[in-house]
Amino acid sequence: MSSEERPVLLKVEGLKKHFPITKGVFRRQVGAVKAVDGISFDILKGETLGLVGESGCGKSTAGRVILQLYSATAGNVSFKGQDLMSLNKEDLRKQRPHMQMIFQDPQDSLNPRMTVGSIISEPLVEHGKFKGSERRERVEQLLESVGMNREFTNRYPHEFSGGQRQRIGIARAIALSPEFIICDEPIAALDVSIQAQVVNLLEDLQEEYGLTYLFISHDLSMIRHIADRVAVMYLGRIVELTDSETLYSTPQHPYTQALLSAVPIHDPKHEMNRERVILTGDVPSPANPPPGCHFSTRCPRAEKRCFEESPEWREIEPGHQVACHLV
Ligand code: SF4
């Protein structure tokens, strides 16, 4: 199916998540950490949308708000046309099987006191899927589909390597046959030598089960490999979104250009001619973002209006959106 024919699976509109900062015994609100500050995008069925940015830019919070693990401050999220934010607890619970998350650190996300079998079957039990021997068979089949031995059901997470633990986490995430999975830095905690294996597994599962991914990562080389389209996030906002090929060949936003200029190129001739854009200064605090463009304090092209006016999020050509006054 070409990208034009794919239906929209998930729609995010003006999504915000502000964490209040409180003070004193009465917990008076004195400010807010604007972790996600008005982001909008669609994810098409069967595609992988990469969400990239430096750590602390709000991408993981965005993932959690989309899945309603955190309540949003403003905006909308709809899944297959259904507004997730209007659902009550029970209706949201019924939607859960369709949307899952794979976490960064398998060490933290797997209960060390539970066997692998009970970890993987937990969502099946919670949603009343399969009984007795059928459930056991399903768990073993899931282990096999993530490249692990069926016999491992009675073992504990500590008996496995980081890569194997992430495979167990993936088996658990696909147990209820979801359509949409948010992969939150799924390989960041793993040894470099096994990162590619886990990425390949996620790609194989996508093909086999027609999965749709939101792939959150700070690793631009890996995102280039796996994503159909890429959204670049800076200090709570998305600054550029387009297909992978366009983003990596002709990035338009100064922040995207700076990020990509730091990614090594495998061709030595091009590597020698590569121009690096060095960003000075630290990322400002999301509790106190600069007025106007959030990137203005570090942007090599910033001009007067950048410090006063927030740039509009607009489409510069079909399927390519940028938020910058100069683009
Ligand atoms: Fe830089 Fe101004 Fe564009 Fe922001 S709006 S990215 S500060 S040029």
Question: What φ, ψ does residue 49 adopt, rounded to 5°?
Answer: -100, 125
pLDDT (tens place) for every residue of the chain, 327 residues total: 555 678 999 999 999 999 999 988 888 888 899 999 999 999 999 999 999 998 889 999 999 999 999 999 999 999 999 999 999 999 999 999 999 999 987 777 788 999 999 999 999 999 988 888 999 999 999 999 999 999 999 999 999 999 999 999 999 999 999 999 999 999 988 888 899 999 999 999 999 999 999 999 999 989 999 999 999 999 999 999 999 999 999 999 999 999 998 876 666 666 666 677 778 878 899 999 999 999 999 999 999 999 999 999 999 999 999 999 998
123, amino acid identity? P
Atom in ligand 1 nearest the alpha carbon of residue 254: 6
Atom in ligand 1 nearest the alpha carbon of residue 296: 7
Q: Does residue 103 contact residue 169 with C-beta atoms inside 8 Å?
A: yes
Residue appearing with tokens 């709000």: 58
Q: Does residue 244 contact residue 224 with C-beta atoms inside 8 Å?
A: yes
The answer, as to whether pTM is greater than 0.85, is: yes
CA–CA gap between residue 296 and residue 271 (Å, rounded): 28
Domain ranges of the chain: 8-253
318 C-alpha to ligand 1 centroid (Å): 21
The CATH homologous superfamily of the domain defined by 8-253: P-loop containing nucleotide triphosphate hydrolases (3.40.50.300)
Q: Does residue 306 contact residue 293 with C-beta atoms inside 8 Å?
A: yes
Q: Does residue 90 contact residue 170 with C-beta atoms inside 8 Å?
A: no
Atom in ligand 1 nearest the alpha carbon of residue 255: 6
Mutation probe of ligand 1 site: the residue of 238, 255, 293, 297 with most atoms within 8 A of C-beta? 293
Angle between helices 116-126 and 162-173 (to 10 degrees): 20
234 C-alpha to ligand 1 centroid (Å): 12
Pairing of strands 229-234, 212-217: unpaired
Mutation probe of ligand 1 site: the residue of 234, 279, 326 with most atoms within 8 A of C-beta? 326
114 C-alpha to ligand 1 centroid (Å): 50
Beta bridge partners of 314: 322
Atom in ligand 1 nearest the alpha carbon of residue 325: 5
120, amino acid identity? I
Atom in ligand 1 nearest the alpha carbon of residue 293: 4
Q: Does residue 217 contact residue 226 with C-beta atoms inside 8 Å?
A: no
* Sheet order of strands, 74-79 included: 28-44, 8-23, 74-79, 82-83
- H/E stretch holding 164: helix 162-173
Report which protein residue has its CA nearest ligand 1's atom 5: 324
Pocket of ligand 1 (CB under 6 A): 253-254, 293, 295-296, 299, 301-302, 306, 311, 324-326
